[in-house]
Amino acid sequence: MSTWTVDRSKILQPDEITLVLTDLRRKARRSTNSRMNMVVFRLATCCGLRASEIAGLILGDVLVDNSRPSIRVRREIGKGRKARKVPLTWDAGTLADLVEWKQFRREQGAADDAPFICSQHYDALGNALDRRNLRKRFKACCKVLGRERQGELTIHDGRHSFVSHALHGGRSIVEVRAAAGHSSLATTSIYAHLVDTDDEVGNLFDFGG
């Protein structure tokens, strides 16, 4: 039997998520890179994507032009070559940010097979980013939490946070398992009591900050 556990300290708590998103939204008004960092943070923390999955995501995987928007994680980029769909109906703020970013990438001339997250530097525009770059960007997003907390957190902790908040926010363990791509319900259930709040969650990652 597996004894694997998740360290509670690795979960971004509601006030921390609110603080990061508020800071990124302010910076995004004047910086394209900050705007993209906000999308990276959303994909990790509000959608549960791994760094490798964010790196491999293309515009055609972000399905927002229908009544059931979702992210398609293709076998080619999913862990263990397992495909899955991540619903984008759980959190309106996340959906809005991804819709806006996809439109922005379209305005840059990106086609369906172009990277969703890519370099915005003038001489490398459109080039895919690697996992190392994405990890650095996630760290940059967490700067507002203070140096010590920033040093503790990794982009994979965003994924841990997504699972914890989805369960706490009322999504069923079966739904969350499917969205996260866990191999068993036992793995998903580990996350059920890692959020330090009893407040009712409306939009999953809108904590009223």
Q: What is the pLDDT of residue 195?
A: 64
Task: Answer whether 160's CB lies under 8 Å from 7's CB.
Answer: no
Q: For the CA atoms of the chain, what is the radius of gyration?
A: 16
Q: Describe the crossing of helices 14-28 and 155-168 by its angle, rounded to 10 degrees.
A: 120
User: What is the block-wise mean pLDDT of the chain (209 residues), using blocks of 10 residues?
Assistant: 71 95 96 97 98 98 94 96 96 96 97 97 94 98 97 96 92 93 87 60 58
Global pTM value: 0.91
CA 101 distance to own-chain centroid: 14
Q: What is the pLDDT of residue 206?
A: 74
Q: What is the pLDDT of residue 1?
A: 42
Q: What is the pLDDT of residue 186?
A: 86
Q: Describe the crossing of helices 32-41 and 131-141 by its angle, rounded to 10 degrees.
A: 100
CA distance 63 to 87: 10
Name the residues annotated as catalytic: 50, 79, 156, 159, 182, 191
